[in-house]
C-alpha cells in the first residue's frame, strides 16, 4: 500500500510509510512542514535589500516568496536554515541567527 503525502498523519502506521520517507509524487514538498529541522534562521533586513532577487533562485526550498517582482519575508514553515541565501545576497540584507 503506497500512501500519498496528504494521507500521512499521526495515526499512520510505520509499516505503511515508504523506505526513507521517499516521496514518489510531484509537488508535495509544500505538504511537509520542514522548518522544524532548522538550527539557523535567516533574518531579512528590508532596508538593506535592493530587490535584486539574486537570493530567490538559490534557495533550495523556494522559501523566498516573490510577488509583483518584489521579494517578501521568508517562508519559515519550509526553510531549513541552510544559509545559501545569505551567501547569495550581494548587499548583506540577509544574515543567519542561531535558533528558530
Say which residue, 42 or 7, is predicted with more confidence.
42
- Domain encompassing residue 7: 1-32
Do 45 and 26 reside in the same domain of the chain? no
**CATH number of the domain where residue 55 is located:** 3.30.70.20
Q: Phi and psi (nearest 5°) for 57?
A: -70, -15
pLDDT per residue over 63-81, tens digit each? 999 999 999 999 999 899 9
- In this predicted model, which residue has the larger pLDDT, 7 or 47? 47
Percent of the chain with pLDDT over 90: 54
Would the pLDDT of 1 be above 80? Answer: no
Q: Does 62 lie in the same domain as 16? A: no
Query: How distant, in Å, are the alpha carbons of 13, 38, 64 from that of 41?
Result: 32, 7, 13
Which pLDDT value is given to residue 82?
93
Residues 82, 46, single domain; the answer is yes
In terms of domains, do 53 and 80 share one?
Answer: yes
Residue 28 and residue 64 in one domain: no
CA 64 to CA 85: how far, in whole Å? Answer: 9
Same domain, yes or no: 28 and 52:
no
Judgement on whether residues 55 and 87 belong to the same structural domain of the protein? yes
What pLDDT digit, counting tens, does each position of 33-58 carry? Answer: 787 888 999 999 999 999 999 999 99
Number of domains in the chain: 2
Amino acid at each position: 500500500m503506497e500512501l500519498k503525502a496528504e494521507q500521512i498523519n499521526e495515526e499512520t502506521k510505520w509499516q505503511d510509510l515508504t523506505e526513507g520517507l521517499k516521496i514518489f509524487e510531484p509537488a508535495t514538498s509544500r505538504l511537509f512542514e520542514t522548518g522544524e529541522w532548522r538550527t539557523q534562521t535567516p533574518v531579512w533586513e528590508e532596508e538593506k535589500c535592493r530587490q535584486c532577487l539574486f537570493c530567490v533562485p538559490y534557495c533550495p526550498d523556494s522559501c523566498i516568496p516573490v510577488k509583483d517582482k518584489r521579494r517578501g519575508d521568508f517562508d519559515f514553515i519550509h526553510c531549513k536554515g541552510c544559509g545559501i541565501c545569505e551567501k547569495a545576497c550581494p548587499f548583506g540584507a540577509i544574515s543567519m541567527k542561531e535558533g528558530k
